[in-house]
């Protein structure tokens, strides 16, 4: 039998080549190709407006803003975080010489369980690093109350939460700072890219120094900063993608509606519904396989889908706490993280992107429904 077309888990949002070419010509004319150029400034302005945030600083990827936020806030000692994320979250702590302390997740959302935070606080704790997993907002109110009570900073890894709002307010305004990733696989991309969102001009200035080696001016270096500047080509590409991201999110929404409709009554398969008051971005569509009820394990289903050229991804399996760098930590003990392990062992993220066609969606669903 002839193999059908491969359906990938994601597909990058790409700007129109003609439009991009116009902007490239302009960049060539200006001969200013990086270091806070024209399109860099334009993109920061446009993103502040689109995301409803006061200040943003562009980065060359989504990992360096995590590392830089920790440096700027002078975080040391221990940071409470989640093992149910992409490995960059915890790596950013490692790069700052900080000890990660993993706590378990809330199975209702996949996010860090706020009820587990207080028990993990020690005299060395200085911050909390939660993740809005799959773009589902954390309970930011509850996390703020605990952070305020103990004098802790909060840095949100909001790599999945581009454009997510709660009751009309951007989720990116929560905590001391929030980070974004504009990697090719994300809802909004600049090929590689990322950003840091902050509340005030003073912090933005400091962050802008830190992403440019720590230079405050020609002769003053204020700190050992990294190099993480976004160049003009990717900033221009990003400006064009911003024009079509709303349509892409709406296309994803329609995919989610169809997946939910078809999977709602499939025994042993569960998924998340939209949260009330939340503007979602439909960045991922995770399903959870209950092997007993479904009659097949997660991995059996995952490989069966793969055989039929439907490529899901087991995000987030394996858990960060199981990787060799981290598994020796006391908090990495699986007994400390039962819900995280359960979710990691049952999840498959279905293909989810703006370019999925009706027949693609049907093929994805058939691999799950026809056993």
Ligand X SMILES: *Cc1c(COP(=O)(O)O)cnc(C)c1O
Q: Which residues bind ligand X (CB under 6 A)?
A: 61-63, 85-86, 88-89, 131, 157, 159-160, 181, 183, 194
Q: Which is nearer to ligand X, 88 or 172 (CB)?
A: 88
Q: How far is the CB of 92 from ligand X (least distance, A)?
A: 8
* Alpha-carbon distance values, 148 to 140, 141, 318 (Å): 12, 11, 32
Give the C-alpha separation, 164 to 168, whole Å: 9
Minimum Å gap between C-beta 183 and ligand X is 4
What totals of helices (H) and strands (E) does the chain contain, helices first?
12, 15
Nearest residue (CB) to ligand X, 129 versus 289: 129
Residue 89 or 170 with smaller CB distance to ligand X = 89
Buried b (16+ CB within 10 A) or exposed e, 140-165: beebbebbeeeebbbbbbbbbbbbbb
134 in the Ramachandran plot: left (φ > 0), alpha (ψ -120 to 50) or beta?
Answer: left
Query: Smaller CB distance to ligand X: residue 114 or 194?
Result: 194
- For CA atoms 70, 343, 181, 173, give the dihedral sign: negative
- DSSP three-state, residue 130: coil
Min separation Cβ 187 and ligand X, Å: 11
CB-based contact 278:137 (threshold 8 Å): yes
Least Å from the CB of residue 1 to ligand X: 36
Shorter beta-carbon distance to ligand X: residue 86 or 302: 86
Burial of 6-45, coded b for 16+ CB within 10 Å and e otherwise, reads ebbbbeebebeeeebeebeeebeeeeeeeebbebbebbbe
d(CA 128, CA 131) in angstroms, rounded, equals 10
Closer CB to ligand X, 39 or 134, in the complex:
134
Asked if 130 contacts 84 with a C-beta cutoff of 8 angstroms, the reply is no
Q: In whole angstroms, how close is the CB of 192 to ligand X at the nearest point?
A: 6
Q: Which residue reads 């990322």 in tokens?
A: 194
Nearer to ligand X, 180 or 239 (CB): 180
Tokens of 166: 């709660």
- Cα four-point dihedral sign 14, 18, 22, 25: positive
Helix runs in 96-194, H state only: 117-120, 140-150
CB 11 within 8 A of CB 352: no
Supply the minimum distance, in Å, between the C-beta of residue 74 and ligand X: 21
Residue nearest to ligand X (CB): 62
Nearest approach, Cβ of residue 182 and ligand X (Å)? 7
Name which of 67 and 72 has its Cβ closer to ligand X: 67
Least separation in angstroms between residue 151's CB and ligand X is 26
In the bound state with ligand X, the residue whose beta carbon lies nearer, of 63 and 281, is 63
Considering the complex, what minimum distance in angstroms separates the CB of residue 25 from ligand X? 28
């Amino acid at each position: 039998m002839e193999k059908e077309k491969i359906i990938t888990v994601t597909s990058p949002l790409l700007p129109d080549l003609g439009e991009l070419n116009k902007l490239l010509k302009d960049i060539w004319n200006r001969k200013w190709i990086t270091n806070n150029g024209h399109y860099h400034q334009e993109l920061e302005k446009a993103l502040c407006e689109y995301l409803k945030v006061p200040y943003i600083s562009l980065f060359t990827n989504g990992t360096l803003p995590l590392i830089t936020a920790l440096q700027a806030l002078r975080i040391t000692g221990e940071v409470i975080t989640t093992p149910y994320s992409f490995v960059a979250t915890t790596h950013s702590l490692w790069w700052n010489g900080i000890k990660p302390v993993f706590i378990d997740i809330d199975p209702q959302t996949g996010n860090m369980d706020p009820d587990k935070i207080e028990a993990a606080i020690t005299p060395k704790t200085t911050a909390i690093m939660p993740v809005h997993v799959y773009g589902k907002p954390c309970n930011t109110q509850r996390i703020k109350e605990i952070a305020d009570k103990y004098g802790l900073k909060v840095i949100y890894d909001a790599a999945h939460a581009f454009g997510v709002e709660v009751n009309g307010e951007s989720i990116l305004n929560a905590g001391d700072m929030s980070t974004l990733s504009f990697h090719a696989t994300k809802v909004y991309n600049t090929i590689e890219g990322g950003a840091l969102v902050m509340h005030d001009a003073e912090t933005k200035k400091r962050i802008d120094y830190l992403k440019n080696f720590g230079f405050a001016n020609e002769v003053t270096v204020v700190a050992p900063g990294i190099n993480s500047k976004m160049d003009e080509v990717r900033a221009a590409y990003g400006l064009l993608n911003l024009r079509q991201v709303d349509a892409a999110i709406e296309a994803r929404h329609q995919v989610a509606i169809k997946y939910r409709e078809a999977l709602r009554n499939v025994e042993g398969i569960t998924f998340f519904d939209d949260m009330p008051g939340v503007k979602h971005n439909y960045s991922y569509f995770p399903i959870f396989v209950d092997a007993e009820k479904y009659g097949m394990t997660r991995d059996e289903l995952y490989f069966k889908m793969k055989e039929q050229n439907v490529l899901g991804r087991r995000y987030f399996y394996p858990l960060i706490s199981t990787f060799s760098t981290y598994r020796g930590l006391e908090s990495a003990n699986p007994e400390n993280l039962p819900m995280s392990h359960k979710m990691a062992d049952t999840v498959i993220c279905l293909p989810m992107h703006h370019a999925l066609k009706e027949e693609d969606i049907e093929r994805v669903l058939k691999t799950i429904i026809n056993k």
